[in-house]
Amino acid sequence: MNADTFELYGAIGWKWVSVKLSYSLDDYFGARPNATADKTDGTIYVDLTANYPVGDTGLTLVGHIGWLDVRHDGSEGDPTTFGKVSYTDWKADVAYTIPDGPVKGLEVGAYYAGNNAKSRFYTDLSGYDTSKDRGVVYVKKTF
C-alpha cells in the first residue's frame, strides 16, 4: 500500500474566515476500508475555519469544523461488516502571540479537538485510538 494521495485543493477566504476543499484523484492515502472495497478516489474533505483576532490584544480565537467523506467507506452497505470511515472533526483554540521583546512572535495556545470517527478504523497497531478527543497546550514559533 502506498500512502501517497494526489488531490485537487482549493481555498477561499474573507477577512478571518476560510473554506478549503480537498478532492482525492486516486485512492485516499492509498487505502480502501477493506480488501474487497471499491476505490476511494473522489474522497472529499471540507474545512471551515475562523481565526478571529481579539482587537490588538495578541489573542486569537480559532474555531474549526471539517467533514471527511471517504468514498465507498462501507457506510453504503452493511455497517456491521466494517463501518463508516468518514467523520466530522472540530477544534476550539485560543492563542496569544507575544508582540515584542526577545521572544517576539512566539505563540502560546491551547485547544480542544474532537470528532465522531469510529475508533474501530482509527486505532493503530499498538492499540492507540487516534480518534479520541483531546486537549493540547502548545508553544509555537514560525521563522
The whole-number average pLDDT for the span 40-61 is 93
d(CA 141, CA 136) in angstroms, rounded, equals 16
Whole-number Å distance between alpha carbons of 48 and 67 = 9
Comparison of pLDDT for 25 and 55, the residue scoring more: 55
Question: By C-alpha distance, which of 64, 18, 17, 73 is closest to 44?
Answer: 73
pTM: 0.78
Rounded-to-integer distance, Cα 98 and Cα 109, Å: 11
Rounded to an integer, the average pLDDT of 21-33 is 75
| For residue 125, pLDDT beyond 80 | yes
Mean pLDDT of 25-52: 77
Q: List b or e across 63-72, with b for residues whose CB sees 16 or more CB atoms inside 10 angstroms.
A: ebebebbbbb
1: pLDDT strictly greater than 90: no
pLDDT of residue 86: 85
Give dist(CA 123, CA 104) in Å, integer: 39
Per-residue pLDDT band for 77 (boundaries 50, 70, 90) equals: low
Give me the pLDDT at residue 118, please.
Answer: 81
